[in-house]
Structure formats: structure tokens, C-alpha cells
Structure 1
Amino acid sequence: MSTAISFVTTATNQYVSRGRNELHTIFERHFADFCAQYDEKYAATYGRYRLERIQQIGERFCTCGDYLQGVARIRCTNPECGHDYFRPFSCKGFYLCPSCSRKRTILFAEHLTNEVLLKLPHRQFVFTMPKALRPFFRHDRRLFAEVSRLIYDILRDFYHEAAGRPLLTGMVIAHQSFGDQLRWNPHFHTIVLEGGFDDEGTFFCIPFSGLQSMVEVFRRRVIKLLVERELLNEDFARNLLSWKHSGFSIDNSVRILDESAKESLAEYIARPPISLKKIHYEPFKGRVLFHTKYSQYFKQNLHMFDALDFLAELTQHIPPKGLQLIRRYGLYASRTKGRWQDMRWVAERAPDGWKATHHHSADTEGLGYVPLWDGDEEVPVDSRKRAWARLLAKVYEVDPMVCPKCGADMKVIAVIEDPDELKRILRHLIKIGRSPPGFDPDWLN
């Protein structure tokens, strides 16, 4: 019963809401069966107490773009034109809904680039762990926060050692639980300021090469953490430390020097596990064909899932409610960032968005975006709402708040949630030949 919120650009640059996508169809046909079989078939592998959370997000996703759940009516402000359209509500099912996740990803990347990352060189570090330890992170997702802090401590200590003095640096650490073909592969993407400031405000640039010693420190500290949490016994820990090929790795081959690279990487670390471009649903066989780039691990570039198995692989990446997936440390932590104005050497290198809101707070129109709050990961609801039209114009080159017929501004004139009123509107749209894309008139019965 849902109509996806995704967008295309027509020849006249008109905002058009596309019909249902294949992920909606998969959920509508198989999600109820998946939930019914979860405890028996999937709970032992994916988590025994996760079904309630999965149902909550899955059911919300099934209503995303459903005209029967509520719409906003948007009309041209030119009284001689009167063009209007209805936009259904979105589900905000981050990490599941591709459309809602895309909006969140772009907002996060803009916030990080325009208001957080200093105008200095940065580098991406990617931390990975052996397969033997990955199940611990599936069943205790609090470990992500502890390992994030551990990674910050390791990099900070290496900076102190290299500079011969304490340095204040900045990092953004995101954990992702998914790898190729949706398999469980917890790893950490870290955007690291390539150096740091000493107590006198002097910046020391410290590019890293040769990470063997850092990998060994990472391995020992993670194993120590798991032993302290009584997830590993001493014998298994010693066995892990004896492995010649430990399975731990750190990659820092990506250096970030310009704003475009910062924004692209910020989008990458905040992306959801699923892309509609990668899946093809075969309804008669109840199977999902998952396309991806060639995987050295699987020795293939596609995989055929049973629909229920596909849902199990996908929904395992839905985080518990309230779990913070992206954290900021050092100069980029909210508490320290609140003192940038008192740190002249930092303020001079601050991004333009931060400078505009702190030095010219009354004039932010020239930024090209709405400044967001300074939370560690999310952006507030009001900012998300204001950003909707601007993000569509940025990504799809179509502005839904500009009338495609006369070019005048459009505005929301009503929000409609009453079921009877919605059915009356939809029947009228069908009658005059303006049925919403993908909407089945039988749903009104």
C-alpha cells in the first residue's frame, strides 16, 4: 500500500513522485511471513530480542509515501495559475528506507563539511577486525561505542608520540555493520585531522605511513577489551595474539584535501546498507537478485537470495533505538567545538558555515544551506523539513517549490491526515486522471 518517495526530472523540470520501488514490493509480499518465522529460523543468528525493533521500522517503511497515511497539499502562489500537487508523508526509517536515508545522508555530509571539519588536510582511516570477533558486535552493539573511543585514543597517542608533545586533534568515527552483499562485517570509518594543535596553537601536520605497529596496538587493545568484558577467555585471547595473519587491518590510503572530497566521504560513511540499484526482485520465484561490484571474498558480483533470507540479511543492520552510529572526538566533539571562538588558531581555520553563524549570525543567506545544530550525529526535525526542497534541487536538479507551469513560488497550504478526506481526494484524482503513480484504486475499497 505504499508509494515510494523518490524523484525524477522531467523535460520541464517538474517534480514527479515515482511509483513503488522493488523494496516496497518485497516488504509488502514477504515481511509478515518473515516476522512470523523470525524466532524459529533467524533469531539464533541475528538476535533473539530484535524482532520488535525490526517490526517497528519495517512497518513504518511500508507506509512510506502511502497517500492513505497523510499528505501535504502544495499549491502555486500565483492566483492565475493555481497548479497544485499532493506529497505523501515519508517514514524516516533511516538505515532501511533508501529515500529517507538519502536525505539524512546528504544533510549529515553538508553539516560535517560546512560546520565541523577544519580547513586543514584530513585522512580516512578504516579499521577492520577478523571474522572470529564479528559475532560479538552483532549481539552486543554497545561495543561499537567502546571501540570508537579506543580508536580515538590510539590515533591521539600516536600523534603525541610523533610530535613529542600533547596535541589536540579532531576525528569523526562512524561504524558500519555491513559489507558486500549485506553480510555482517562491522568496521569503522574515521575522518582524521592530519595532525593537531599544541598548547600554544601551533599546528603540527603528521602524515602517517607504515601502520604495522598501529595495527598491532589496535589488535591488542580490542582483544583486551573483549577479555575485560568477559567475551573472550584468556586461552582464546592468547591464541588470537599468536596468529601470524591476525585479521586486523588499518587502511589510510585516502587523503582528503578539498571540500568536495570531504562531502563525498561524509556521505559515504553515513550511507545506508541498501541501494535500490543493487536489487532485482523476481516475484514469481520469491527471490531477490543482489548485484554489486566483484567481491574477492565471494568470488562473484551477484548473489541470489530467498526473499525471507534477504530480509534477514537487510534487517540485521537496523540499529537498536538510540544507538549512536557516528561519534565526534577531540576538536570536533560538541563540547570542545563550543569553545572554538576562544581558540583563535582554530577559529581561523574553521569552515565557512561555522564562521558565518558565529561572526555574522544575522546573515546566513549566502551559505546556500540552512545551518544545522551541533549534535553528534543527527540533525533536528525542523532543519530536515526546511531542507527538503533544497536537497531535491541539489540532487535531482528540480525544485518542488517552484511552479513548473508559471515559475512562481509554491507553498504548503494544508496537511491532511483524516482517512475519509484522503479517500475522497484520491477518488477525485483518479476520476480526473491524476492518480498518484503506482496507486492501486482497489486500496480505496
Structure 2
Amino acid sequence: MSNRAIQNLFFCFSDQLKKTQQPLKNLKAIDALTHCRTPAMGASYYRCQSNHAEVEQLHSCRHRSCYVCAHKQRLEWIEKQKARLLNVPHFHVVFTLPHEYLPVWRYNEALFARILFKASQETLQQLLAQQRHGGVIPGILMALHTWGRQLTLHPHTHCLVTAGGLDANNDWKALGNYLVPSAVIRSVYRGKLQSFIKAAFDEGELILPPTLSVAQFWAMYQGLYKKHWCVRIEERYAHGKGVVLYLARYCKGGPVDPRQLKQMNADTVTMSYLDHRDKRIKQQQLKPMDFITRLLQHVPPTGLHTIRYYGLYAPASKLRYQRSRQQCGTVEQMPSASRVDRLTMVIYCQTCGVPVQLRRRWWPRRSKGNSINREAQSVRVSDSVQNDQ
């Protein structure tokens, strides 16, 4: 299936989407995914020094849920993480929001995302700071995912945690083959998440859905203390590069790879997925509008950072990070020439085959909101301007 399969689906059902009520974040995503690399986004024009025919390059939307323009962003993000990650073993920890909270999540996406990040971060840092669990400050890379394999709502955080950290003497201390006992991490995580949710409710920040009364909410809240909470600690990785590659597939470009779409028509979208229970590839069929609805529920709230760094990887821990880097090094880099080839797009003249230079750009004027005003402007730029498509 073409990497424009999702874009084509949005385009074909654009009239039906206009009749639905959508939050602003979804309207922006619909506009971006529908028009990415089409004339509606404008274009840049390149020409060689011999003034042969111009080469047109349509602009990307650069929306984080768009798979069409995510490839370059994904490669750039991977290279940055490989330069950041310490060359030590890492653990992969997954914290899941109990599904009882899903109706409340839908009305409090940004708030619940912050709570989920905070509970995951504080659980890891508090436990690893205790001497019986290592007594170290670890490096933590954390990514928020809101989907399951079948695009259902399933909020959880993926945490890449160094198998060690700086001790009280600022020396590197390895943790060995185990992070912390799973029962302990589940208990601490449950307590923190519950306390943050209660605080948000008491401060009037939490919005309850119309179908959930205050009494029902507190009954659900109390009942969750008796349930098994899902915190999964994967086996230790020799380095964090494998998890970074896994996260990169979803951190840029949305939750679905167009290659998962096996068949599309006016009535059905057939999507393949990996069932994590039996590790088998399966297929599900959805109506096109149902598929689009599932996809849109995973568009992050505007301004929400879905990738965050804590501990040694936090921007505020530069001195500690530099000390750790001196002692451990970072994940090995790919040869620089290979990186440049992958991340730098060179455009060639279709007549003489020499590299072309940017001559002018054109883009449509956009009014406030998401409508596109077809009245456009063309801007000429210096030959020295570099291509940023």
C-alpha cells in the first residue's frame, strides 16, 4: 500500500468529515493529512545555473500525525537519540493507565497525559534513588502512546531507563540484570497516579463526563486500589538503540504505518496488526469513517510534548550528564557520510542532471482556522537559501 494511503482516505471522505464535530486539534490534523505535499500547501521551485526547466517540490505539512512527511523527521530523531543515549544497558518499562479511566481521559487528555508522565517519572526516580534499589540518578527517555494494536484507546508511557546511574559521589554505578521488583513498582505507581488524580479533582481541574456522576467516579477510584495494575518491565537491553528504533516508528507519523492497510474501498478498511498475546499477525476490518475516528482520537492535544527526558537525560542535568558521558560514552554513531546521505535531500535538474538551487517559493494565504484561501503569494529567495523540505 502506498505511503499516501491514509492521506487518500482522508481526501475521499473529506465531505463527510466536514459534517462531523471535531475539536480544533483534529481539524488541524485533518487539514494537514489531507493536503500534505499537494498544491494546497504551496511549493518551492528549483533551477540549475543553466536555467533549464524548474523543478517543483510541494511543501510538507510537518504535522506529527502525518506519515507522508514523517520519514525525514524520524531519521533525524533517531540520530539525536543515538547521540544522547549513554552507552550502557537500558531497561524498557511500560506504565499503563487503567482502562476504567478511559471515559475521563477523553475529557481531560492534556491533564491526564501530564499526570501519566509525572506518575511514571516519579515512580522510577523515587525507587532508584533508594539504596536498596541502587541509590542512583538514572537517565530516562519517556514517550506517550495512546493506542493499542487495533487503534483502540490505550494510554501508556514507554520508558527507556539506564541500567545504572550516578551515585551520591557522582560516580557511575551499574544496577545489574534487574531494575526493581514488579510488585513494588506497581504499588508506588498506583499510589502516585491515584494521588495526582485526586488532587486534580479537588482543585477543580478534572472534568467528569456527563455519564459519570461524582459518586460513581469515587466508587471507581476506590475500586481501582483492589485491581491489578499493569506495569511491564522488559528484560534488560545491551543498549537502548533497539527501543529507540521501536519508539521512532510511532513518535513521528502517527500510530499506523500505511503498509498495515491491506485493502481499502468505499465500505471497508482492512488493517493488519500484531496481536501481542500470541505474537501472530491478524487483520481487522473497519468502516472507513470508523477507522478515521479511531485514528483522530490519537492526535495529541496542541502543545503537548509526547516525548520527555528526565534524570540524567533531562536538559537541566547537563553537568551530571557530561560526567556520565565521560565515564560511559554514548551509543556508537553511524558514519557521518551515511548520515548526511540519509538526511540531506539533493535535488537534481531533470535536463542536465546537476544539483539545482532554490529560486522561489509559493504558498497559499491561510485565514484563521483551517480553511485555505486560494489567493496565494510567490516569494523569490536568494540562491543561497537552502532547501528545508
TM-score range, shorter chain: 0.7 to 0.9
Cross-structure match for 2:382? none
In 2, are the aligned partners of 1:174 and 1:269 still within 8 Å (CA)? no
Contact 2:270 2:283 (C-alpha < 8 Å) held by counterparts: yes
* Residue aligned with 2:20, SS: helix
Question: How far has the Cα of 1:211 moved from its partner?
Answer: 1.1
* CA apart distance, 1:22: 2.5
Q: TM-score, normalised by structure 2?
A: 0.77
- The Cα offsets for residues 109-132 of structure 1, whole Å up to 9 and x where unpaired, read as 221111x21222212111123321
**Contact in 1 for aligned 2:89/2:240 (Cα 8 Å):** no
Whether the 8 Å CA contact 2:143–2:157 is kept in 1: the answer is yes
**Percent of aligned pairs sharing the same letter:** 18
Q: Which residue identity is paired with 1:391?
A: L
Q: 1:183 to 1:234 in 2, by over 3 A?
A: closer
Q: Which residue identity lines up with residue 251 of structure 1 in the other structure?
A: R
Partner of 2:343: 391
Retained in 2: the 8 A contact 1:172–1:192? Answer: yes
Question: Does 2:114 correspond to 1:145?
Answer: yes
* C-alpha distance in 2 between matches for 1:417 and 1:351: 41
Partner secondary structure for residue 347 of structure 2: coil
User: 1:47-71: CA deviations, max 9, x gaps?
Assistant: xxx5322112211222211135422
Match among 308, 328, 345 for residue 349 of structure 1: 328
Tell me which residue corresponds to 1:436: none
The answer to whether residue 156 in structure 2 is matched with residue 187 in structure 1 is: yes
SS of the equivalent of 2:82 reads helix
Tell me: CA distance 1:302–1:164, structure 2 relative to 1, closer, same or farther (3 Å): closer
**Structure 1's 218 and 334: CA in aligned 2 closer, same or farther, altered over 3 A?**
same
* Other-structure match for 1:401: 347
| Matching residue within 235, 238, 249 for 2:230 | 249
Opposite residue 104 of structure 2, the aligned amino acid is F
Pairing 1:18-417 to 2, within 5 Å after superposition:
21-38=4-21, 50-67=22-39, 69-76=41-48, 79=50, 82=52, 85-95=55-65, 97-114=66-83, 116-141=84-109, 142-163=111-132, 166-206=135-175, 207-208=178-179, 210-230=181-201, 233-243=217-227, 246=228, 248-258=229-239, 260-261=241-242, 263-268=244-249, 270-271=251-252, 272-280=254-262, 282-283=264-265, 285-294=266-275, 296=277, 301-337=282-318, 339=319, 344-351=323-330, 367-368=336-337, 390-391=342-343, 400-401=346-347, 408-417=354-363
Distance 1:220 1:351, change over 3 A: same
Q: 1:108–1:270: 8 Å Cα contact kept in structure 2?
A: no
5+ residue gaps in structure 1? 1-5, 7-17, 39-49, 355-365, 371-386, 393-398, 423-445
| Conservation of the 8 A alpha-carbon contact between 1:35 and 1:55 | no
Give the Cα–Cα distance (whole angstroms) in 2 for the partners of residues 336 and 204 of structure 1: 17
Query: Which amino acid letter does the alignment assign opposite residue 154 of structure 1?
Result: T
RMSD after superposition: 3.6
Q: Provide, for residues 226-277 of structure 1, a one-character-per-residue CA deviation record: whole Å limited to 9, x for no partner.
A: 233336854433322223xx2x222222433347425414414624212111
Q: What is the alpha-carbon distance in structure 1 between the residues aligned to residue 250 and residue 146 of structure 2? A: 11
Partner of 2:370: none
Q: CA deviation at 1:400?
A: 3.5
Relative to its length, the structure with more helix (as a share) is 1
Deviation at 1:317, TM superposition (A): 0.8
CA contact (8 A) 2:4 2:68 kept: no
Task: Name the stretch that deviates more: 222-231 or 57-66.
Answer: 222-231
Matched AA of 1:57: A
1:36 Cα deviation from its structure 2 partner: 1.1
Task: Give secondary structure in 1 for the equivalent of 2:85.
Answer: coil
Letter in 2 for 1:410: V
- Secondary structure at the aligned position of 1:324 is classed as coil
Residue 167 and residue 270 in structure 1: after superposition, are their counterparts in 2 closer, same or farther (change >3 A)?
same
Structure 2 unpaired stretches of 5+: 207-213, 365-373, 378-389
Separation in 2, partners of 1:209, 1:348: 24
Which range moved further: 323-332 or 121-130?
121-130
Q: Report the Cα offset of residue 178 of structure 1.
A: 0.9
TM-superposition CA deviations, 1:75-108 (whole Å, max 9, x none): 445x4x957531101111212x112233322222
Return the letter of the residue paired with 1:161.
Answer: Q
Q: For the residues of structure 2 that align with 1:345 and 1:225, how far apart are their CA atoms?
A: 32
d(CA) in 1 for partners of 2:26, 2:375: 30
C-alpha distance 408-126 of structure 1, shift in aligned 2 (>3 A)? same
Total equivalences in the alignment: 351
Compared CA separation, residues 37 and 225, structure 1 to 2 (3 A): same
